[in-house]
Amino acid sequence: MPYPKSLCNSCIRFFSRVFSFPFLSVFSTVLHSVFPTVFLVFLVFQGFGNSISIALAESSLFPFMVEGASLPRVWMPPKGNEPAGANGQVRAAGDIFVDASGERLRFWGTNLSFKSNFPDKKDAAALAKRLRAFGFNVVRLHFVDTEIWGKYRSELGCRKMDEEERDRLDWFIFQLKECGIYVNINLHVGRVLDERDGNFPEAKRLPNMQKGVGSFLPEMLEREKEYARDL
């Protein structure tokens, strides 16, 4: 069993200088001879203790299995089965949201990020139903602007959308709508523009993920308008 002999020697030298006791040389020899055994015992008990900690942690876990198309209860029961937007456009009225009739809407939302915003069509309906079963009625589609370019991104930058990715996104949004779930899409989250995307000769000098500059930099404003139209 390897052990830190240099550390042991350093400790002995330190005490030898401080106390200058002759018997420390004998102590050093004894310590060198028994240290491997002591260190091995320490490792055994350390590993045993870790095993106990892991076992205790695992014993406190429990399986969370969700079977079937719906759950027995939801956190926020749906109000009817109408699609999202059936009662008109959502708008802000002071500190609350209301529909076209002025009735208050309350949202319970979650995030989906990156590739999870583009599920296969065969999975989209099941995912939307499961989100509804959990009580969600709004989903933020986060980081869409970093994934939707698909196969075009490496050579064409971030302006030409991958048709297949956009089609999956469109189908998924439709399934969410049918389940009464609204969506939130941001114009800019993580898309990074460079000289391939327009007049951005100093793109590398912009902030991380180019946050904030899209609110006033004319070239970025144009790219965001284009992005919104293409979606």
Residue 125 contacts residue 174 (beta carbons within 8 Å): no
Residues 6+ apart with CB under 8 A from 135: 74, 75, 76, 77, 78, 108
Rg (C-alpha) for the chain, rounded Å, is 31
Where do the H-state alpha helices sit in 60-195? 121-133, 153-156, 163-178
Most confident listed range (16-25, 34-43, 177-186): 177-186
The DSSP result for 70-103, as a single string, is S-S--SS--SSSPPTTTT---EEETTEEE-TT--
Report the pLDDT averaged over residues 89-97: 95
Q: Is the pLDDT of residue 141 over 90?
A: yes
pLDDT band at 163 (very low <50, low <70, confident <90, very high): very high
More confident residue, 60 or 122: 122
Answer whether residue 26 shows pLDDT above 90.
no
Q: How far apart are CA 214 and CA 188, in angstroms?
A: 8
| pLDDT tens-digit readout, 204-220 | 777 777 777 777 778 88
Q: What is the mean pLDDT of residues 173-180?
A: 96
Query: What is the C-alpha separation between 153 and 230, in angstroms, rounded?
Result: 15
CA distance 220 to 154: 20
pLDDT at 40: 47
Mean pLDDT computed over every residue of the chain:
76
Alpha-carbon span 222 to 197, nearest angstrom: 11
| DSSP line for 20-51 | --THHHHHHHHHHHHHHHHHHHHHHHHHHHHH
Cβ-based neighbours of 225, under 8 Å, separated by 6 or more: none
What pLDDT, on the 0 to 100 scale, is given for residue 10?
A: 55
Q: What is the mean pLDDT of residues 6-22?
A: 52
Hey, is 211 helix, strand or coil?
coil
Most confident of 31-45, 46-60, 146-160, 174-188: 174-188
DSSP single-letter state for residue 207: P
> Is the pLDDT assigned to residue 34 strictly greater than 80?
no
Q: How confident is the model at residue 89 (pLDDT cuts 50, 70, 90)?
A: very high
pLDDT on residue 48: 47
Q: Distances in Å between the alpha carbon of 168 and those of 52, 132, 159?
A: 47, 19, 18
